[in-house]
Amino acid sequence: MSVLTRDEAQTRAELLDVHRYTIELDLTSGDDTFDSRTLIRFGTRVDGDTFVELKPAELRSVTLDGHPLDPETLNGNRLPLPNLTAGEHELRVDTRMRYSRTGEGMHRFTDPTDGETYVYTQLFMDDVQRVFAAFDQPDLKAVFELSVTAPQHWTVLANGITHRADGVWKAAPTPLISTYLVAVAAGPWHSVRTEHRGLPFGLHCRRSLAPYLDADTDELLDVTRACFDRYHEKFDEPYPFDSYDQAFVPEFNAGAMENPGLVTFRDEFVYRSAVTDTERQTRAMVIAHEMAHMWFGDLVTLKWWDDIWLNESFAEYMGYQTLTEATLAGSEGTPRKWGTDTWTDFGITRKSWGYDADQRPSTHPVAPEAVDDTASALLNFDGISYAKGASALRQLVAWLGEKDFLAGINTHFARHKFANATLADFIDNLAGATDRDVHAWADAWLRTTGVDTLTPRITPGEHGTCALTVDRAGSRPHHIAAGLYDRDLGTDGGQLVLRERLHLDLPQTDAHPIGKRPALLLLNDGDLTYAKVRFDPESFETVRKELSGLPRPLTRAVVWNALRDAVRDGELAPAAYLETARAHLPLETDLAIVQGVLAFASTYIADRYLTPEERPAALATLSELCRDLIRRTEDGDNPGLRLIAVRHRIDVAAHPDTIAAWLADGTVPGGPELDPELRWRVLARLAVLGATDEAAIAAELERDPSATGREGAARCRAALPDPQAKAHAWEAMFGSDDLSNYLFTATARGFWQPEQADLVREYVARYYADAVAVADRRGPAIADAAGRWAFPAHAVDTDTLRLGEACLRDADPIPALRRKLVDQLDDLARALRVQGTGKD
């Protein structure tokens, strides 16, 4: 399939004005394909040639201005439209299209719980052509009018309000939107409908998930209404579409997609099992993020994919900030579980994603100068475009002030609504609202790569006073706070109190007087900028001994991130990080911090940064830490903390006895009871340890025959320490194309286990060729899964690195897989350096 280049898009945009798409879909023609008929009304400014994109199973007919075109001229995914004369045209295309099992195009899913079938579109980037013919680029906006024929008992959702007449569902015509934002979701949905401010709101999920959606309906609608109201307080432009539906759909590749009027979410957000308040907050943030896209991306859309940050960075920043504001606005009412400390969660969960991505060879500017084609653009939806971009915006607001920031945004919306914009447009609009040099800020923050490092130097002065100088490794300006913390002498020890928070603009050349030496000096206190921070020696000793005594969760998150960075950079021994976690995590109250520290300690330190000989001791330490947390929560006051501890206690179990007893009893002593998520989690660990078998997995699947149960069973079967089980799992992933995207991922997550390194050693060498082949056959979504989940990350040795480098050099993997392999191999080389066995 040919990808669209930037030059081709510019040439086509100069030629065409696209007015309206009239699309007819028939979803009753079989299990493998559906019918798609498209009428495109467009104009050409001058005489010229162009093409329309589509990827049909069968191209039945094409007519241009009433004259038939030869379907045989379809070349890959491009249908030439030659010899167009200046003026208005009509293109009619009649096709048969394939359903997808990989979450791309029109995905089809049959629920194993009740046999009901659901379909939905994910047309992002360049997958429109899998559903209907289109001039598929973001700056050729048009009105879309859809009609859908579906089975009698189905409901059809779309971007606009839908109704059924004479057996056909029709959607209200959209305003001008981009092709990738068109959406359809059809099936026997369970729906909850209401109104807010006169606008129809809806929640939709599979029927088998109805009880779980109903249980959370009040919370979901509370989040939606609160964010909706807060955006209307911030933005001058009102919500620009006629309804707001949120559909939780199966086997969704992303967290969610901002289709105007019909946001689609992965349906894991309809919780079947117990979750923590932090997980509820994450779901709320995704709701806030996608709603922000109604303005950032849908109302005003990027002109080309080099300005992804105008969509994702803004939605990420606005999601976290608006959720915080909406929570505070409702603090006098019913306590809300979904937004109590969003920036702590961002600091622990998202910023590390950005920091890691920005230190790999695949790093790129937040706003690249040019993105050559759609395949290259797809790779940039990463921690840089989301987390780093949002961090840069948070720094911009801290420097600029929120009033001027919002004034610039509202000017941007007014000038470009229902149209397209570039970085230059936005910066010009922002510059008009302030005397600050926003263009220089953009050059420093959005056009550069890498992470700055800030290191404090404290020098003694007269009469016991000190002065602070900040050394900056990097080139960006930073507006930060430096926290000065003293020991609270009125307690039994272990508590730190904030003396002062200094506000600094870097680069700082002069030393800043700070009075007497603090016990801890913390740069970037409040986490307002995007930079790695280091400690002076005395502050580091304070951190090691008294980290849990810091009063604010966000402050502790900054410290934990600094320790994480120090481990990754080879400046702090992994064992020292574990010792710090063992000392302070049992006293931690913030769930995001507990979850983030345990995840890094188990996934990276125990599984990659320590040698196989050191790993058992690390697992023992983590197991003891989790036992402490479980004991601490025996009174039931903090069920979220207990749930996190139980999950990680299962994951690091080195012996099966305790967790096998939990499974047999159906509960952890003192709670919680083992719901489906915990039962599959225990069974997966027992499979790794060789303490269960196929019969037990089949019995559990009979107990939980849901889609999630199928994924749990696939993971458990792949994790069994049996040569035949490994061979079967490998064949399922790489030898056939039967697995859906979710079942592929579940199988991959079970296959590689550090405890089974000898058993799977032969597959390490096979991985590269087989991953390249399956990526070629099945496309970007499976390529991403193969690179992310099926990579042998446990095999931290030079042979794995050498084989991977040879693959990149000789095998020509498709871009989606190449990017994942580049990142995985860089992480592998880092792990070797941390272990002390690699070369600098």
β-bridge partners, 641 = none
Residues 488, 497 contacting (CB under 8 angstroms): yes
What one-letter code names the amino acid at 83? N
Give the chain's radius of gyration (CA, Å): 27
| Helix/strand/coil for 152 | coil
Cβ–Cβ < 8 Å for 244, 261 = yes
Sign of CA dihedral 44, 45, 46, 48: negative
Q: Are strands 262-266 and 300-302 parallel, antiparallel or unpaired?
A: unpaired
Nearest to 246 by CA among 266, 229, 230, 231: 266
Q: 279, 290, 546, 677: which is the annotated catalytic residue?
A: 290
Q: What are phi and psi of 705, to 5 degrees?
A: -85, 20
Query: Residue 775 has which token pair?
Result: 């990526």
Residue 579 identity: E
List Cβ neighbours of 178 (8 Å cut-off, separation of 6 or more): 137, 138, 139, 140, 141, 301
Under DSSP, is residue 51 helix (H, G, I), strand (E, B) or coil?
strand
Residue 442 contacts residue 423 (beta carbons within 8 Å)? yes
- Tokens 């050498």 correspond to 802
Long-range contacts of 663-671 (CB under 8 A, 24+ apart): 668/630, 670/630, 670/634, 671/636, 671/639, 671/642
Type and span of the H or E element at 457: strand 453-460
Task: Tokens 């949002």: give the residue.
Answer: 390
268 catalytic? Reply is no
Q: Is the dihedral of CA 809, 813, 819, 820 positive or negative?
A: negative
| CA–CA separation, 166 and 258 (whole Å) | 30
Q: Strand, helix or coil at 688?
A: helix
Helices (H), ranges, 27-108: none
Burial class (CB in 10 A: 0-12, 13-18, 19+), 479: middle
What is the Cα–Cα distance from 307 to 309, expressed in whole angstroms? 5
3-class DSSP state of 293? helix
| The pairing of beta strand 262-266 with beta strand 244-249 | parallel
Q: Is 361 helix (H, G, I), strand (E, B) or coil?
A: coil
Tell me how far apart the terminal alpha carbons of the chain are, to the nearest angstrom.
40
Helix (H, G, I), strand (E, B) or coil at 11: helix
CA 243 from chain centre, in angstroms, equals 25
Please identify every residue annotated as catalytic: 290
